Amino acid sequence: MLGLKMYKLDLTPDPKEIAAIEARRIREKERQCRFFNVRNRVMGVDVDALNYQVEERKLREAIERSKEMAYGNKHVHYDLVAQMLEKEEAERACRLSKKVQDFREQRQQFKNGHEFDFWDPNHLQEFPVSYFDRNPCFGPSSMQCFLGEDLERASCLRMQQEQLRYNLSKQLQEQQAAREEEARTALLSDQLRLAVDTRAAELARLEESCRAAMRTAMANANRAQANKQALKHRHEQKQQQETNLMEVKKQITSDLLTENPQASQRSQAPHRVLPYCWKGMTAEQRAAIRKTQETQRQEKKEQRRAEKSLEAEWGCQTRRLAEAALELEEQEKQLCAEFRRGLGSFNRELAKEQQAQQNYLNSVIYTNQPTAQYYLQFNTSSR
């Protein structure tokens, strides 16, 4: 007894192992349900999985739509904020420019500048111009002569006035000469226009006289041509009448109206006629045709009698063949009856042999028959 090992059998089972076993059991049941379900196994359709996929797709689409809607709302909000910022920036710039302009108008006036004393025209007029600036004793440092001062302004103004009077007088002379030239040009233009009108009138008279002469010549030519055409027409009409008379005479004396039977025969083939000249058959021809028709009728009668006799012979032959066929059919029936009797006896012998073999198999070979319990053990697991 000392060599035996003692095992502790009252241990509590592991919950994880129990959960794993239960999970495997549940999966096995679900697997069996799927495998043993004939509809799912044959059609291969997992409705639950398809429904789950549809729901998942709908959920995904709803999430995407919500995201797009949120993005659109944010985009609109950002646009509004950007517009507000732009408006505020524009207002700020406007206020700043207005302040700058106000500052310039109030604090940066021209009269408040540091250099305004140098450019003030009223202040400059208070100091008289020195007339001693041409003295060589006064240099630049004496501040008697500055750049831009004009001490000879009066003489310059007189010279400018004289130049202006000279220019005005010259312009007046040029204008007078231009008016005279224009008047002379107008006079020459009038004279030229008058000469052109006179020449045009003369040319018009000449053209009218030429046209009158051409009309007269054309009228004479047309009259002569009309006379010629009338003479030609009368000659053609007379010739046409003569031709018509000759044609009428020819038709009257032709074979077409006289009904000459010789005219319808061909020179190379007398047995053939000309269709456009043929006026009908003669009495001899009609008699020959009737004779030929009578001969053909007699031949047709003889042919019909021969056909009737031939049909009678064929009828007799058919009856004889039918009688022979009936005899052969009777013989065939007798042979078939004998064959069926022999086949029946052979089948009975064969059935006896098969029954004996089946009895041997059931009594000797197949003694252990399977029960219902044997068939119930199948399809009990999905593996």
What residue ranges do the domains of the chain occupy? 17-101
Q: Which pLDDT score, from 0 to 100, does residue 24 have?
A: 92
Q: Which pLDDT score, from 0 to 100, does residue 5 have?
A: 45
| C-alpha span between 57 and 63 (Å, rounded) | 10
Maximum pairwise Cα distance, the chain: 183
Q: Both tokens of residue 15? A: 């919950």
Buried b (16+ CB within 10 A) or exposed e, 194-207: eeeeeeeeeeeeee
Per-residue pLDDT of the chain (383 residues; tens, 9 = 90+): 444 444 445 567 788 889 999 999 999 888 888 777 766 665 556 677 788 889 999 999 999 998 989 888 888 888 888 889 898 899 989 988 888 888 878 777 766 666 655 565 565 444 444 544 455 566 566 666 665 555 667 777 888 888 888 888 888 888 888 888 888 888 888 888 888 888 888 888 888 888 888 888 888 888 888 888 889 888 998 899 999 888 888 877 766 666 666 666 666 766 677 777 677 777 788 888 899 999 999 999 999 999 999 999 998 998 888 988 898 999 999 999 899 888 988 999 999 999 998 888 888 877 777 777 877 877 777 66
Q: Which pLDDT score, from 0 to 100, does residue 127 have?
A: 47
Q: Which pLDDT score, from 0 to 100, does residue 55 have?
A: 92
Q: Phi and psi (nearest 5°) for 273? A: -120, 160
Least Cα distance to 219 among 208, 211, 209, 207 occurs for: 211
List beta partners, residue 265: 273
Q: Both tokens of residue 202? A: 């003369």
What letter does residue 381 receive in the DSSP assignment? -
Give the side-chain half-sphere CA count within 13 A for 102: 6
SS3 label, residue 262? helix
Share of the chain above pLDDT 90, in %: 14
Q: Which pLDDT score, from 0 to 100, does residue 120 have?
A: 59
| C-alpha span between 99 and 86 (Å, rounded) | 20
Q: Which pLDDT score, from 0 to 100, does residue 134 have?
A: 54
> ∠ CA(123), CA(128), CA(134), 5° rounding?
130
Q: Which pLDDT score, from 0 to 100, does residue 126 have?
A: 47
Contact criterion met (CB below 8 Å) for 34 and 47? no
Q: Phi and psi (nearest 5°) for 144? A: -100, -20
Q: Which pLDDT score, from 0 to 100, does residue 144 have?
A: 62
Is pTM, for the whole model, over 0.75?
no
Judge residue 72's burial from the number of C-beta atoms within 10 Å of its C-beta, 0-12 exposed, 13-18 middle, 19 or more buried: exposed
Buried b (16+ CB within 10 A) or exposed e, 158-186: eeeeeeeeeeeeeeeeeeeeeeeeeeeee
DSSP assignment of 221-280 equals: HHHHHHHHHHHHHHHHHHHHHHHHHHHHHHHHTSHHHHT-GGGGB-SS-TTSB-TTT---
Share of the chain above pLDDT 70, in %: 77
Q: Both tokens of residue 379? A: 């399809």
Which residues, at least 6 apart from 281, have a Cβ–Cβ distance to it below 8 Å?
289
| C-alpha span between 35 and 46 (Å, rounded) | 12
Q: Which pLDDT score, from 0 to 100, does residue 352 have?
A: 92
Q: Which pLDDT score, from 0 to 100, does residue 372 have?
A: 78
List beta partners, residue 273: 265
Q: Which pLDDT score, from 0 to 100, does residue 150 have?
A: 59
Q: Which pLDDT score, from 0 to 100, does residue 294 have?
A: 92
